[in-house]
Structure formats: structure tokens, C-alpha cells
Amino acid sequence: ENDLCNEILNLYSRCIEEARKLLVELKDAKQRLEYDWSDKNQAYAIDTNCIGLRNESDNLEWKPGCVRLPDG
């Protein structure tokens, strides 16, 4: 009976250690996903802003070295 209790205690200890390792892995994965989501969110905001830009847009700044300069 004592051996059985020790075996069960060892099994519980291994299960707890494995659960802790899995928690660390899951936290790392969550952090990577949040970082990726943040990058995609920023890219979406940039794309949303840029989709409305035209050559006639008021907020464009034409600089020397551009592929095309405005007429005039």
C-alpha cells in the first residue's frame, strides 16, 4: 500500500511538472501570437490609410528623387 501511494505521488508530481512546462510553452505562444497580431493590426491601419491616397491627395509630399513629380 505504501508503494502504491508513493507511485501515485510520483505520477502526480510528473503530471504537475508537465503541466507547468505546457503553461510556459502556451504563454510563449500567446506572446508570439499577440506580437504577430499587433504587426498585422498596424499593417491593416497603414493599408486602410493608403487605399484612399491618389496623386491629387492633399497630404502627399513630392520630393526630389521621386519616380514621378507633379505637373507644373
pLDDT score, position 15: 98
| Cβ 27 vs Cβ 20: under 8 Å | no
Torsion, Cα of 5, 6, 8, 11 (10° steps): 170
How many Å apart are CA 6 and CA 21, to the nearest integer? 23
- Give residue-wise pLDDT tens across range 10-63: 999 999 999 999 999 999 999 999 999 999 999 999 999 888 888 777 777 767
The answer to whether residue 71 sits within a structural domain is no
* pLDDT number for residue 16: 98
Q: Which domain holds residue 9?
A: 1-50
Domains: count for the chain = 1
Residue 60 within a domain: no
65 within domain boundaries: no
pTM for the predicted model, two decimal places: 0.55
**Per-residue pLDDT, 7:** 95
- pLDDT for 53 equals 81
